[in-house]
Chains A and B, each alone.
Chain A
Amino acid sequence: MTLHFLDLVAVACYFVLMGVLGYFTRRTKTFSEFAVGKHSVPGVMIFASLAATIVGPGFSVGVTSKSWEQGFLFYCLVVVFSIQILTTGILFAPRLARHRDCNTLGDVMRKRYGRFAHLLTGILSVGLCVGFTAVMGKVGGSTLHMITGWPLVYCLIAVTGTTALLTFTGGLRATIATEGMQFSMIAIVIPITLLLGVSQSSLTMAELSAKASELTSSAFKATSGWQMFGIAISFLLGEVLIPPYANRALAAKTQAASKAGFLMAGIFVIIWLAIVAAFGIVAHGVIAPDTAPDDVFVTAGKALLPIGVFGLLLATIVAIVMSSQEACLNAAASSFVRDIVGIFANPDERASLLLAKGSTIFLAALAIVFAHFSPTIIEGLLFLYAIWAPCMIVPLIAALFLENAKPVAGWVSILGGGVASWAWQFAKEPGAVPAILVGLTASLICFVLGQTFGTPKQRTDSSPQIA
């Protein structure tokens, strides 16, 4: 793709802006500042940061490519994701925000279930966040590759490396500041592009509406009920309380700020997904019908936007990737220090901070390597959902609501759910029943058994199972 000088200037300005924001918010003195911003973040910033994290490549470029082919069918399936965020806002986020002494989800799990569950949570958190960083990094690297023509490996390093540097220098507050700015870009540039698309489309609004109906109904007929259920359930449950979201609940200034941030983000998701889905349909009146679905977002943007402003759209795509990556890298580094290293050693504040910063770079490097092997964005997300949800949802929700949860119930539920989901996926999901559902059922059964037959927790900081 040939770019005008002004487009390249717009992309360069974006990176300078991120650098400036990182500079002004860069100092972190303690691990708590790095991990949860001293529990001092206001509700509006929780919202902006959370929305920027949620709106990754899957919920922008991915949804547009799907709606180009399937009309509003994919929107109807994926919009259930907002229920998850709203439920988290109403039920879970305020309860998480109560744990002022906790810096990670693992800390919360340890309070209920002891050290072994803490360690398992840490391993899952780090694995999930590195996986997300890899999947996002591949999209960002491919976009940069398209912009510059540089070899893909350099582009992967440039995108994930820049994100790692921003996260490394400033911790969660710098991450939240840059994410807020990225959210502003996303929320302003993409809707304006859609409006331009409507005004410049070769099709009238009535014709576009007819196209949307035709695409949606033909996609509905071509998709089985189980397939639709599987996609919807994955988006409904797959990201419940994943570490980047949980860290924002923990970072909130008050319980009310936490709740408000999640509720606003949940409502924004409904609006946002409709906008990017509409963009995929409006694109039919803007670009050639043989355009590859994955290229629709960028190709339509290039056709619609004037020189220089198109560069802003490309910068926005990079922002979409980087905002999600920043959140995941910060959560991964915090979890690595607290939930994995912290199980075996007890580093002081200064050592923890240094370790968190060092692990940010190390985990980013790991994500760059994994990015080479990551599948397409939606497939990658669905795979990661099928691991996190079956392992963590049941014991985590129980940890927030049950005062007398038993340690064995926690770790048996994590292992049972994970093994069942993995085995079901390995068996190619017999009967098209989603692995996430099988894993969740197994996790629930294991939890109930553990809670029924397990012994109560004796001490506050260690689990009798591995003592």
Chain B
Amino acid sequence: MLQIAIYLFTPVAIIAGIASLISVVRFVIGVHAEIRKE
């Protein structure tokens, strides 16, 4: 269990974090553009 957590889950979580970071930037740009348009 310990080794699965360290060697498998850890990289998956980091990738999810990076993917989320990209999505947040896109989301914020989209919302901000919408606000400016209004």
- Contact residues of A with B, CB < 8 Å? 21, 24-27, 29, 42, 44-45, 47-48, 51, 72, 75, 173, 176-177, 180-181, 183-188, 190-192, 194-195, 198, 205, 208-209, 212, 268, 271-272, 274-275, 277-278, 281-282
Q: How far is the CB of B9 from chain A (nearest CB, A)?
A: 4
Please report the number of residue pairs spanning A and B whose Cβ atoms sit closer than 8 angstroms.
106
In the bound complex, residues from chain B placing their C-beta under 8 Å from that of A21 are: 24, 28
Which 7 interchain pairs have the tightest Cβ spacing?
A187-B17, A180-B24, A278-B5, A188-B17, A274-B5, A184-B21, A191-B10
Q: Give the residue name and chain of the A residue nearest to B12 (CB).
A: A271
B interface, size bucket = 20 to 34
Set B5, B12, B31: member contacting A25, Cβ < 8 A: B31
Set B9, B11, B17: member contacting A183, Cβ < 8 A: B17
Q: A188 touching B23 by the CB < 8 A rule?
A: no
Q: A275 touching B10 by the CB < 8 A rule?
A: yes
Known: A24-B28, A191-B14. A184 touches B9 (CB 8 A): no
In the bound complex, residues from chain B placing their C-beta under 8 Å from that of A173 are: 31
Known: A275-B13, A277-B5, A278-B6. A27 touches B27 (CB 8 A): no
In the bound complex, residues from chain A placing their C-beta under 8 Å from that of B35 are: 25-27
Residues of B12-38 contacting chain A, CB below 8 A: 12-14, 16-21, 23-24, 27-28, 31-32, 35, 38
Q: How far is the CB of B12 from chain A (nearest CB, A)?
A: 6
Known: A209-B3, A274-B4, A277-B5. A183 touches B20 (CB 8 A): yes
In the bound complex, residues from chain B placing their C-beta under 8 Å from that of A194 are: 5-6, 10
Q: How far is the CB of B20 from chain A (nearest CB, A)?
A: 4
Q: Give the residue name and chain of the A residue nearest to B35 (CB).
A: A27
Known: A173-B31, A194-B10. A268 touches B16 (CB 8 A): yes
In the bound complex, residues from chain B placing their C-beta under 8 Å from that of A48 are: 20, 23-24
Q: Give the residue name and chain of the A residue nearest to B29 (CB).
A: A24
Q: A187 touching B31 by the CB < 8 A rule?
A: no
In the bound complex, residues from chain B placing their C-beta under 8 Å from that of A180 are: 20-21, 23-24, 27
Q: Give the residue name and chain of the B residue nearest to A72 (CB).
A: B1
Set B4, B6, B14: member contacting A198, Cβ < 8 A: B6
Q: A195 touching B24 by the CB < 8 A rule?
A: no
Q: A184 touching B1 by the CB < 8 A rule?
A: no
Q: A177 touching B2 by the CB < 8 A rule?
A: no
In the bound complex, residues from chain B placing their C-beta under 8 Å from that of A42 are: 23, 27
In the bound complex, residues from chain A placing their C-beta under 8 Å from that of B1 are: 72, 75, 212, 274, 278
Q: A191 touching B13 by the CB < 8 A rule?
A: yes
Q: Give the residue name and chain of the A residue nearest to B24 (CB).
A: A180
CB pairs A–B below 8 angstroms (7 shown): A25-B28, A173-B31, A191-B10, A191-B11, A195-B6, A209-B3, A271-B12
In the bound complex, residues from chain A placing their C-beta under 8 Å from that of B17 are: 183-188, 191
Set B11, B13, B24, B32: member contacting A272, Cβ < 8 A: B13
Q: Give the residue name and chain of the B residue nearest to A41 (CB).
A: B27
Q: A45 touching B2 by the CB < 8 A rule?
A: no
Q: Give the residue name and chain of the B residue nearest to A185 (CB).
A: B17
Q: A212 touching B2 by the CB < 8 A rule?
A: yes
Per the bound structure, the CA–CA distance linking A45 and B13 in Å amounts to 16
Known: A27-B35, A177-B31. A184 touches B5 (CB 8 A): no
In the bound complex, residues from chain A placing their C-beta under 8 Å from that of B21 are: 180-181, 184, 188
In the bound complex, residues from chain A placing their C-beta under 8 Å from that of B23 are: 42, 44-45, 48, 180
Per the bound structure, the CA–CA distance linking A186 and B16 in Å amounts to 10
Q: How far is the CB of B28 from chain A (nearest CB, A)?
A: 5
Per the bound structure, the CA–CA distance linking A275 and B17 in Å amounts to 14
Known: A274-B5, A277-B5. A181 touches B14 (CB 8 A): no
Q: How far is the CB of A24 from chain B (nearest CB, A)?
A: 5
Q: Give the residue name and chain of the A residue nearest to B1 (CB).
A: A72
Q: How far is the CB of B5 from chain A (nearest CB, A)?
A: 4
In the bound complex, residues from chain B placing their C-beta under 8 Å from that of A282 are: 2, 6
Known: A187-B13, A187-B17, A191-B10. A181 touches B2 (CB 8 A): no
Q: A44 touching B10 by the CB < 8 A rule?
A: no
In the bound complex, residues from chain B placing their C-beta under 8 Å from that of A184 are: 17-18, 20-21, 24
In the bound complex, residues from chain B placing their C-beta under 8 Å from that of A27 are: 35, 38
Per the bound structure, the CA–CA distance linking A186 and B24 in Å amounts to 14
Set B11, B12, B27: member contacting A45, Cβ < 8 A: B27
Per the bound structure, the CA–CA distance linking A310 and B20 in Å amounts to 22
In the bound complex, residues from chain A placing their C-beta under 8 Å from that of B16 are: 51, 187, 268, 271
